[in-house]
């Protein structure tokens, strides 16, 4: 499950039956075929694969403004109000984050001026998964921060059989163009461009194994946000933990997908056993139990640690996508944690609130990637680029060491370029 050593003092009351990292479907060859076809045949290939994999292909790939407005008109009023509530929260938080991104110019030595600018991307593609349920929060999380960042054009792609409410969600979130294209063919279309779809500069948003593999294959000429695996939730808890609440939160995430990874890391054996009992009890009444039960059986775990230090160490090894802290002093515990996608401090902060509407982004690193990166945010849509300029004094400062370094490396062209300006100034 992890490439890092697990402390031998941990006891697993339940271990995962399978390794989520090793269970990916063998999709690489098929995705390569799809991308090659989209590259050579554009819209024709997109239509072919939409029909093959989604069972349908709309006559017109792009959703017209009339269709967008009709979908919005048919949206249930309470659903629209809740969607707009989530949009506003995500927007306000993204605007606050944007405010922390300062531009810079500094004279580090006399005459040597360095700086950076924050430039929004010109065009991004937001993949909006269809899934078994209409995930109305999905377009909000990718489209709204892009608009706040100042992206010139935001394109949304969603499967042709996605619920009409998802079109309305893309529209409300601010998508400039919406296309009914799903799967690897959507990623290929956004990366390469087709007769209908313009090529984008970066692709963001979660998806299934085919979408993830397609993002991996197109990366380079086009940027991607991250390679995301199945969803994850872990809870850190001591004796103050509430077994019913913890089990409820674990199963809430487990119902996403049969490959969801869920776990409890605790110092209290009584709590661990109570959570085991609660999960079994709640699965009897959960309407999505078929999915949640398989996820729990395959990837669920309960780790019993001898002390807080071991609990923290193992949590940082796991680097869970969602990490809830249910301890006596959750803020103090949170300050000691380093590796996670998003942190939920205290029992009131449920993952479901972030998943849906509280304002933080739910597109987060999985499979241990929380050890080196964070999740989707307004900065994902901005490139920070450096610049420099020098006056005569600056050339006098940097030319001599640059000339000497170039000569020692045997790079005569570099030495000449460094020396030329100094010679002219001295002349």
Measured distance CA(206)–CA(227) in Å, rounded: 8
Can you tell me the distance from the alpha carbon of 72 to that of 53, in angstroms, rounded to the nearest whole number?
27
**53's tokens:** 């994999």
Positive or negative torsion for Cα 121, 134, 48, 30: positive
SS3 164: helix
CA distance 359 to 355: 9
Nearby residues of 189 by Cβ (< 8 Å), 6 or more positions away: 38, 42, 46, 157, 179, 181, 197
How many Å apart are CA 266 and CA 250, to the nearest integer? 14
Among residues 126, 157, 173, the alpha carbon closest in space to that of 363 is found at 126
Strands 112-120 and 104-109: antiparallel
Helix axes 137-149, 77-98, angle to 10 degrees: 40
* Euclidean distance between CA atoms 155 and 123, whole angstroms: 8
Find the helix packing angle between 243-254 and 269-283, rounded to 10°: 50
List CB contacts of 144: < 8 A, sequence separation 6 or more. Answer: 87, 90, 91, 94, 173, 174
Q: At what angle do helices 289-299 and 269-283 cross, to 10 degrees?
A: 150
What gap in Å lies between CA 52 and CA 61, rounded to an integer? 15
* CA-based torsion, 296, 299, 304, 309: positive or negative: negative
Pairing mode, strands 301-304 and 11-14: antiparallel
Q: Kindly state the tokens that stand for 236.
A: 């850190």
3-class secondary structure, 245 = helix
112-120 and 382-390 strand pairing: antiparallel
Residues with catalytic function: 321-322
């Amino acid at each position: 499950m992890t490439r890092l050593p697990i402390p031998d003092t941990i006891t697993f009351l339940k271990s995962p039956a399978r390794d989520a990292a090793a269970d990916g479907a063998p999709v690489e060859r098929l995705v390569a075929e799809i991308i090659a076809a989209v590259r050579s045949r554009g819209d024709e290939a997109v239509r072919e694969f939409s029909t093959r994999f989604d069972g349908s292909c709309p006559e017109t790939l792009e959703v017209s403004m009339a269709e967008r407005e009709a979908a919005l008109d048919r949206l249930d009023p309470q659903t629209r109000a809740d969607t707009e509530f989530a949009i506003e929260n995500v927007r306000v938080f993204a605007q606050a984050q944007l405010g922390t991104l300062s531009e810079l110019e500094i004279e580090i030595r006399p005459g040597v001026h360095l700086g950076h600018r924050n430039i929004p991307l010109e065009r991004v593609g937001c993949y909006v998964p269809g899934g078994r349920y209409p995930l109305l929060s999905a377009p909000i999380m990718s489209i709204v921060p892009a608009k706040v960042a100042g992206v010139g054009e935001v394109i949304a792609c969603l499967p042709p059989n996605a619920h009409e409410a998802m079109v309305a969600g893309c529209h409300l979130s601010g998508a400039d163009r919406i296309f009914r294209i799903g799967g690897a063919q959507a990623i290929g279309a956004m990366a390469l461009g087709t007769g209908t779809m313009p090529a984008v500069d970066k692709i963001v948003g979660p998806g299934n194994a085919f979408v993830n593999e397609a993002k991996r294959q197109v990366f380079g000429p086009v940027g991607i946000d991250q390679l995301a695996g199945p969803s994850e939730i872990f809870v850190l808890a001591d004796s103050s933990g509430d077994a019913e609440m913890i089990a409820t939160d674990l199963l809430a995430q487990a119902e996403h997908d049969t490959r969801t990874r869920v776990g409890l890391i605790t110092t209290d054996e009584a709590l661990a056993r109570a959570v085991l009992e609660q999960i079994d009890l709640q699965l009897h009444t959960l309407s999505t139990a078929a999915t949640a039960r398989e996820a729990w059986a395959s990837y669920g775990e309960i780790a019993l640690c001898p002390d807080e230090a071991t609990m923290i160490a193992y949590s940082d090894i796991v680097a869970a996508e969602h990490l809830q802290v249910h301890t006596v002093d959750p803020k103090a515990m949170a300050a000691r944690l380093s590796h996670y996608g998003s942190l939920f401090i205290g029992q009131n902060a449920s993952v479901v609130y972030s998943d849906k509407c509280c304002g933080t982004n739910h597109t987060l690193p999985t499979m241990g990637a929380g050890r080196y990166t964070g999740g989707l945010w307004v900065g994902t849509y901005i490139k920070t680029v450096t610049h420099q300029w020098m006056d005569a004094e600056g050339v006098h400062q940097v030319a001599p060491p640059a000339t000497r370094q170039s000569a020692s490396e045997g790079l005569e062209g570099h030495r000449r370029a460094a020396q030329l300006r100094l010679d002219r100034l001295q002349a």
